[in-house]
Amino acid sequence: MSAMQSPPQLTDRPALTRQRRRAAQRPALFLHDSIRDELKERLTEVNRRFTAPALVLGQPGPWGDLWAEAFPGARIVADAPMLELEPGAHDLVIHALCLHWADDPLGQIIQCCRALQPDGLFMAALPGGRSLQELRAVLAQAEADLYGALSPRVLPMTDIRDAGALLQRAGLALPVADTSAQRILYADPRRLVADLRGMGEGNALAARRRQPMPRALWDRAMQLYAATHADAEGRLIATAEILFLTGWAPADTQQKPLRPGSAAARLAEALGTRETPLEPVSPPRPRPDGD
């Protein structure tokens, strides 16, 4: 029998650690700050009182401090491939803007589930597939124009359907996935680069080119950016799409869907309308010989 294969390596973890350390010297916190406030607002709508200390999986340094301020007493744990978690110790686990760097995002969520008490809540926020779509498009076009080939320069990100499927595969109950997108405007493309570096979101792909980006490639990409993704005032548009994932650790007290066919009343009666049976469907005709 062949040995079980590990997930393909997406992230160069040493490179990611180095760029996060550099980012901590001049951090960009505005996106983390906004998403932290959004998750706190969502928690106010949950009919549940959380009593155990929260667990936040996230980027260490100033970003972790930001989450610690919002959730006093929370345990902040770095988003390593193998998480240092205590089984069943928390009733709230938040994966804070780091799941996109995981080689095995399903495994990360499963580890979080094990740290939850029954009926504990898992929440995650991560960049969605439309994030930086403008930058990805112009870099790909510029590289094709100049060199006739492409190389990995921007991290691939998941869409809402795949993200929601991860919750179900991890065994979470009542899974919900939704998305929010915002446009960020930049008068100077160097400011966009500075923000990405300040977030620790530079290119840490394992398959990336190790050489610095050629100046000609950057200049061509910015020409395309200004021509195709600028507003009326010439400011560059950058999309930030955030996926929000929510699921509950299974518990006997949770609501469960009814068994098909177990309804006690007809939908037509509840709506006060007349039920119209469907017309019988004729069986398909056999294909003539020779078709």
Encode pLDDT of 213-260 as tens digits. Answer: 899 999 999 999 999 999 999 999 999 999 999 999 998 877 665 565
The DSSP code sequence of 177-211 is EEEEEEEEEESSHHHHHHHHHHTT-S--BTTS-SS
Q: What is the pLDDT of residues 47-92, one digit of tens each?
A: 888 998 899 999 888 999 999 999 999 999 999 999 989 999 999 9
Predicted pLDDT of residue 2? 45
Predicted pLDDT of residue 148? 84
Task: Identify the band that residue 205 occupies on the pLDDT scale cut at 50, 70 and 90.
Answer: confident
102 vs 151, higher pLDDT: 102
DSSP 255: -
Helix (H, G, I), strand (E, B) or coil at 102: coil
Q: What is the pLDDT of residues 126-165, one digit of tens each?
A: 999 999 999 999 999 999 999 887 777 778 788 899 999 9
- Tokens 């570096």 belong to 197
Q: What is the pLDDT of residues 174-193, one digit of tens each?
A: 999 999 999 999 999 999 99
Determine what percent of the chain is predicted with pLDDT higher than 70.
85
264 vs 239, higher pLDDT: 239
CB 26 within 8 A of CB 198: yes
pTM summary value: 0.82
C-alpha to C-alpha distance for 204 and 21, rounded to whole angstroms: 13
Predicted pLDDT of residue 290? 47
Predicted pLDDT of residue 291? 46
Q: What is the CATH number of domain 13-252?
A: 3.40.50.150
Type and span of the H or E element at 224: helix 215-228
Strands 236-248, 173-186: parallel, antiparallel or unpaired by DSSP?
A: antiparallel
Q: What is the pLDDT of residues 14-40, one digit of tens each?
A: 999 999 999 999 999 999 999 999 999
Helix (H, G, I), strand (E, B) or coil at 157: coil
- What's the one-letter identity of residue 278? L
List beta partners, residue 230.
236
Predicted pLDDT of residue 223? 95
Q: Quick check: 167 pLDDT over 80?
A: yes
